[in-house]
Amino acid sequence: MSGILGYLSILADDISSLAGKSMATTSKSLATTFDDMGVLFDDIATYTKLASSKSSGLLIDDLAAISSFTSETTSDILKKELEKASNIKEFKNNIENLEEKSKKELLSELEKIRDKAIKVAQKNAAKRELPIVYKIALGSLKNKFIIIPIVLILNFFAPWLIAPALILGGIYLAYEGVETVLEKLHNHKEEIKEEKQTSKLSSQEFEAQKVKSAIKTDFILSFEIIVIALSILSQSEFSVKLTVLIIVGILTTIAVYGIVALIIKLDDIGFYLQEKKSLLMKKIGNSLVSSMPVIIKIISIIGTVAMLAVGGSIVAHQTHALTFLEEFINSNFGNFSSFLFFIVEILFGVIIGFIALKVIDFAKPILKK
C-alpha cells in the first residue's frame, strides 16, 4: 500500500503541474476582486487562450477572447463596446467613461463570461489527463518488462547484487521524499524560476517532459516491487518466478494507474453534474470540481510520507540497521509497537534522504567539472 501511495505522490505532483500549466492563473483570478477591470479582462483573455491552445493550438487576441463567449443574450452595451474598440486598452477606457449603471451591468456580464471561460479551460485541460496517465502507464509497463529479465539474470548469476540494488532504490525513494518536502518548504524561488522556464514550453513539450520524468521515477519504484516479489519466490522454479513476476508487473500497473485515472476524473464527473438541472446535483458537481486540488494535495502529502517510510524500511531491512530498536519497541510498547516503528522508519528515511541530498549537492559541481 505504501508503494502505491508513493506512486500516487509522484503522479499527483506531475498531474497537478500539468493542470497548473493549463490553468496558470486560476488562483490569482479567484483571489482578486471583480471590480478590478484590468485583471478581469486579462483573466478572460488568458483562460480563453489556454482553452483555445489546448484544443486547436491557436491563440487569439484579448478582444476576440471576450467576444468568443458572447451570445444572443449578451447585452447590446457589451456588443457595442466590443465592436467599437480596436484593442483591449481602448475597450477598458471606454467602459471607464460609461455611466455608472451601464458600467455595472457590463462588469456583471464580464464576470459571467470570465466564469464561463474558466470552465471551458478546465474542461479542455481535463481532456488531456487520461492520455497523460495512459502514456505513463504504458511507460511503466515497458519498465517492468525491461526490469523482469534484468532481475532474473541478476538473481541467477549474481544474487549478491540484489540487496545492494534494493538499498540504492530505498535511498533514492528517501531522497525523492526529502527533496519533495524541502521544495515545498524552502524553494519558492526555485519554483518561480522553474515556472518561468516551463512557461516558454508548448503544452505538448511540457507534457512530454512531465511524462518522461514520471516514467523515470516509475522505473525505480517498479524495480523495488519486482525485486521484493522475487524475494518471496526464492525457492520456486524459474517458470513460476517468471510467470508470477509478469502477473505482478501487469496487475500493479493496472491497479496503480487505474486508481490515478479514477481520482483525476472526479472533476469530469463534477463537470457532468454541474450541467444537471437539479440543485443538489449542481452542488455535488461544484464540490467535486473545487475539491480536486485539495485531493491532489492530500495524496501528494500522504505519498511523500509513504516514500520516506518505504525507503527507510527497505534500507533498514537490508542493512539490519534498526533491528535493535525494533526489538526494544516490540518488547516495551505492545499494541503500539507497529505504529511507533512505522514512525521510526519514516524518520530513518528522512535521515537517509537528507544525507543523499547533501552528497548529491556536493558531487554536482565536481561532476560538472
Residue that is last in its domain, among 64, 92, 126 = 126
Per-residue pLDDT band at 279 (split at 50, 70, 90): confident
Choosing from 126, 153, 187, the residue where a domain stops is 126
Examine the domain organization and report whether 197 and 272 are in the same domain. Answer: yes
Same domain, yes or no: 221 and 242: yes
Do 9 and 90 lie in a common domain?
Answer: no
The residue with cell 514520471 is 214
Indicate whether 24 belongs to any domain.
no
Neighbouring CB atoms inside 10 A of 359's CB total 12
Query: Within this chain, do residues 43 and 170 fall inside the same structural domain, yes or no?
Result: no
Residue 37 included in any domain = yes
Residue 51 in this model has a pLDDT that exceeds 50:
no
Res 26 pLDDT > 50: no
**In a shared domain, residues 156 and 97:** no
**183 domain-assigned:** yes
- What is the band of 34 on the pLDDT scale with cuts at 50, 70, 90? very low
Mean pLDDT score of the chain, rounded to an integer? 74
Q: Which of 173-187, 312-326, 327-341 has the lowest mean pLDDT?
A: 173-187
* 193 and 340 co-located in one domain: yes
Kindly indicate the confidence band of residue 200, based on its pLDDT and cuts at 50, 70 and 90. low
Q: Is the pLDDT of residue 48 over 60?
A: no
Does residue 198 sit in the same domain as residue 282?
A: yes
Report the pLDDT value the prediction gives residue 126, as an integer from 0 to 100: 65
Cβ atoms of 129 and 265 closer than 8 Å: yes
The pLDDT score that the predictor gives to residue 58 is 36
98 and 154 housed in the same domain = no
Q: Is residue 60 domain-shared with residue 117, that is, in the same domain?
A: yes
Both 78 and 212 in one domain: the answer is no
How far, rounded to the nearest angstrom, does the alpha carbon of residue 305 sit from its chain's CA centroid?
A: 16
Q: How confident is the model over 239-246, as a mean pLDDT?
A: 90
DSSP letter assigned to residue 32: S
236 by DSSP, 3-state: which? coil
The whole domain housing 339 covers 2-17+138-368
Contact 360, 175 (CB under 8 A): yes
Residues 190 and 305 in one domain: yes
- Mean pLDDT, rounded, for 17-34: 35
Same domain, 195 and 274: yes
Tell me how many domains the chain contains.
Answer: 2
Give me the long-range contacts of 230-236 (CB less than 8 A, separation at least 24): 230/151, 230/152, 230/155, 230/162, 231/162
> Would the pTM count as exceeding 0.85?
no
